[in-house]
Copies of this chain bind each other. A is one copy, B any other.
Amino acid sequence: MAERVEMPWWGWGDPEHSRELPAAALAEIERRFGKLADPESLPGIDHFEIPESRVPEPVAAALRSSTGADAVSDTPTSRVLRGGGKSYPDLVRMRAGRPAGLPDLVVAPANAEEVSKVLKVCSESGTAVVPFGGGTSVVGGLSPIGEGQGGVISLDMSRMSGMVSIDEESRIGVVLGGTSGPEAEAAFAAHGLTIGHFPQSFLHATVGGFVATRSAGQASTGYGRIDSNVLGLEMVTPTGPISLPPMPGTAAGPGLRSLLVGSEGTLGVITEVALQLSKAPAATLDRAWIVSGFEHGRELMRRMEQAGCAPAVARLSDEEETAVSLALSAKSRARRAFARYALSKGRGRPCLLITCFEGERDRISGAHADASAILRSGGAKSLGGMPARAWRHGRYDGPYLRDVLMGRGLLVDTLETAAPWSKLEGLYSSVSDSLRGSLGRFGGDPIVMCHVSHLYPGGASLYFTFVGIQPGNNPDERISNWWDVKSAASEAISREGGTITHHHAVGTDHRPWMEAEVGERSLAALAALKRELDPNGVMNPRKLLPDSG
């Protein structure tokens, strides 16, 4: 099984991963924002103010006897490492040595029975519980909030990892909730199968986390979102377990599986997931294309998707993302190809489209031929496989760049939404304008770029990356500046009929827009559900629901 890498408290991913800014990127960024600050220095954990644990000793003792004493930790390092996720505010605070809060204890149960005991202790004592899988939340979903409670524990899922069973005939695999993406894929690969779920967080996040946050992988156009692949699951709630067996299709009442998917730890802990698997692809066929603009490119994507020949991965960068990618790229060959294409079309700003087909060789070559015909008839020009393979190679690396730019004094983040095809143009314009306007007030020439990366017959996602000057001098100012940008963009999303989140989940950051999206009665229904399953409100307080604390 793949060895798991613990992410550092100060940033994303593998601490050993390169965090160099390529010379071309630095040049482009300094052209836009002026000379960057030197890399910030980070305080060591010994410089953090670590508050006393608020969990009373009898509760701590009960937790130790639930799991064994070895599974409960209150060391500064363990508490800081479980002190939040990887949202911009999380990292701003951590990098300053001033986390918004820390769990009082980190508890790592070994099985569902231990989870059950831990939740019972916590519910009875009013101790908040933040389930912690891979720690990759970028929306504040892991903030250790326990106000009004008798402290807060991080319920660390790292010991609940591995495959429980596999049904090769039905292609259904069952894993424990704390199984990481690579661990699950390695286990299923031995049977020639795959989940096909590869979000940017794949290397670190857990299957339970995928399910709790209703995530979508980069290849969701081919393999489906995680919600469409959850056939069954087991959740331990403070009032008892829920076990929904794997079922291919059922009319037995409301969609309970779908109700637990996306519950973000607010109802219970996902201890086991039964997934619909697909045959591991025998072949891949990656291709990059130039198209004559973002709107036109979206139209071509829509045609492919609705004709049933869309690739597993389809990513279309807007004009800005295309230009920035080229400027940041060391590959002058790609730059020249774009320049030639732009000249030939008499247009200044072409867009990059990547298509990756995966599956049986015959089938993907047929789909690729159909898709290519649609693209060519729309004036798209093939760039060959190289840029697409380059994307595949770096597909999980985006967050490292955020770390670097944050450390050089920039405000940098991503946000995402989705909507029906007919609303994408308005949504794209409004959110882009909002981001550009908000960041522009801080000076420089902000980067606001977007791609479409998840296709559905009825619509698609939009994923924005933005970079601007961060004028704040301390965490509070920095977070306040970020929030101005983020909340204005969220307002624009809400106004234009997009969903407040296509795959990052709600966490703390998107809560204010939930009511506009689903309405007061929906939220009241979810709150009633929470009261039933978690009557003392200990499960991941102040996440997801506006008043779930």
Contact = CB atoms under 8 A, between A and B. Distances in A.
A493 to B, nearest CB: 11
A197 interface: no
A247 B459 CA distance: 8
Interface string A484-522: 000000000000010111111110001000100111111
A253 B216 contact: no
Interface stretch (A31-39, A385-393, A523-531): A523-531
A426 interface: no
B244 A500 contact: no
B279 A255 contact: no
A528 B526 contact: no
Contact of A169 (B308, B422, B527): B422
Contacts of A43: none
A510 B252 contact: yes
A378 interface: no
Given A170-B459, A255-B255, A255-B262, A522 B244 contact: yes
Contacts of A245: 497, 517
A251 B215 contact: yes
Given A255-B262, A259-B258, A302-B169, A419 B213 contact: no
A418 interface: yes
A71 to B, nearest CB: 25
Interface in A446-494: 454, 456-461
Contacts of A257: 258
| Most B Cβ at <10 Å: residue of A171, A245, A258, A458 | A458
Interface string A222-256: 00010110010000010111111111111111111
A455 B253 CA distance: 20
Contact of A420 (B248, B497, B502): B248
Given A302-B169, A525-B533, A518 B457 contact: no
A544 to B, nearest CB: 5
Contacts of A532: 524-525, 527-528
Contacts of A231: 420, 458
A44 interface: no
Interface in A19-42: none
A216 B242 CA distance: 26
A458 B276 contact: yes
A308 B359 CA distance: 10
Nearest to A309: B363
Interface residues on A, range: 35 or more
B167 A420 contact: yes
A522 B171 contact: no
A366 interface: yes
A199 to B, nearest CB: 11
A285 B34 CA distance: 65
Interface string A163-189: 000010111100000000000000000
Given A254-B263, A522-B242, A216 B249 contact: yes
A193 to B, nearest CB: 11
Given A170-B459, A420-B172, A521-B239, A261 B252 contact: no
A461 B249 contact: yes
A214 interface: yes
Interface of A: 167, 169-172, 213-216, 220, 225, 227-228, 231, 237, 239-264, 276, 278-279, 302, 306-308, 359-360, 363, 366, 418-422, 454, 456-461, 497, 499-506, 510, 514, 517-522, 524-529, 531-533, 544-545
Given A248-B458, A251-B503, 12 more contacts: A170-B459, A237-B521, A242-B522, A244-B518, A250-B502, A252-B500, A253-B505, A254-B529, A307-B360, A525-B532, A528-B532, A529-B529
29 contacts: A167-B422, A169-B421, A171-B306, A220-B249, A227-B255, A228-B228, A231-B420, A231-B458, A239-B521, A243-B519, A244-B519, A245-B497, A247-B459, A249-B418, A249-B459, A249-B503, A251-B505, A252-B510, A254-B262, A254-B263, A255-B258, A256-B518, A256-B525, A258-B258, A308-B359, A366-B366, A521-B533, A524-B532, A528-B528
4 pairs of A and B residues whose beta carbons are closest in the complex: A255-B258, A248-B459, A528-B532, A258-B258
